[in-house]
Amino acid sequence: MASVSRAFLIFGGFAALVGATLYPIYFWPLEHVEEYKKQQAINRAGVIQEDIQPTGLKVWSDPFGRK
């Protein structure tokens, strides 16, 4: 019985560690899209796309735009 609970703690701890690592990287930005839109508007305020876009490549688009 002790080995079962120890295995559960090991695998449960690993799952919790993976979840705690993924939350700020993946799930938090998905829940706070408006904050990222505002930040991108500030970051791209002085950028003229035609001046820096290499020839033949697609022009930047809104990464938050839904299809």
| Number of domains comprising the chain | 1
The verdict on residue 67 lying in a domain is: no
The verdict on residue 61 lying in a domain is: no
Comparing 28 with 66, which gets the higher pLDDT? Answer: 28
Say whether pLDDT at 61 is over 80: no
Domain span holding position 30: 20-44
Q: Residue 13: its pLDDT value, please?
A: 96
Instruction: Dump the DSSP string for 4-61.
Output: HHHHHHHHHHHHHHHHHHHIIIIIHHHH-HHHHHHHHHHHTTT--HHHHSPTTSPPP-
The verdict on residue 35 lying in a domain is: yes
Tens digit of each residue's pLDDT (9 = 90 or more) over 1-57:
678 899 999 999 999 999 999 999 998 888 998 998 899 889 888 888 777 777 777
Say whether pLDDT at 66 is over 70: no
The verdict on residue 33 lying in a domain is: yes
The verdict on residue 26 lying in a domain is: yes
